[in-house]
Amino acid sequence: MSALIRLRLAAFLRTGRALAPLLTLLAVLGVIYGGGQAQAAEAYGFSAAVVFPVVAWQTQILFNVEPDIQRELSTVAVGGLAREITAGLLAALVPALTLIALALALPWPLGGITGPSVASGVVAGLWAHLLLVPPALLLGALASRAAVGNAARGLAVLVGCTVLAFVVGTKGSPVPWLAPPLLPTARATVDGLAAGPLTLQTAVAAAWAAVALAGYVTLRRRNA
């Protein structure tokens, strides 16, 4: 399975497809942090919400690099669909963590972070970014060609779920659990990671990722 992970990462990097999400994130964060300073918790909470759709898009790109026939051969080679899906998600995790590291580091040379409570803000920001990684990976997988069949449906899934996440995440929404908790996580970060919001948003993100994973596995089996 490690060989398949390396193969997918190599294809993603050597074809140059990794550049689009990377440059997009650099441009967006550059605009955000170039506009002035913010406290660490506030800056990183907003950054996590911005990074989410970029990680999902990047995952979709990585999954779509592999031709359909090669993916079928890979499934046989690694011993089944479950191992092939795991290899794909682990491969997508590597560039996702790279983007998160960039998002956490970039504000410092740009002078976008100010005090007080910088250390606690960084910890809260790290939690917010990592919390949204599993939902972002699964959304990218759901939007991939292997799951939905073509680029148009994939774009609809990717954009639709991202917009839904921002809409239902507004304060006072009656159904915040319908999508990954982007804005609630940002608010919890600003509030200093109180036990209640931290537990709630972690549970929502984990539940959404579990449902998305089940949906992706179902679609893959149906399309096999």
pLDDT in tens, the chain (224 residues): 899 999 999 999 999 999 999 999 999 998 888 877 888 888 898 899 999 999 999 999 999 998 989 999 999 989 899 999 999 999 999 999 999 999 999 998 888 888 777 888 899 999 999 999 999 999 999 999 999 999 899 999 999 999 999 998 888 788 888 889 999 998 888 877 788 888 989 999 999 999 999 999 999 999 87
Contact present, 25 and 51 (Cβ < 8 Å): yes
Residues 6+ apart with CB under 8 A from 192: 41, 117, 120, 124
Which residue's structure tokens are 């239902």? 168
pLDDT (tens digit, 9 = 90+) per residue, 55-88?
A: 999 999 999 998 989 999 999 989 899 999 999 9
Contact present, 20 and 99 (Cβ < 8 Å): no
Which pLDDT does position 198 carry in this prediction?
A: 86
pLDDT (tens digit, 9 = 90+) per residue, 44-64?
A: 988 999 999 999 999 999 999
Instruction: Centre a 10 Å sphere on the Cβ of residue 159 and count the other Cβ atoms it contains.
Output: 14
DSSP annotation of 111 reads: T
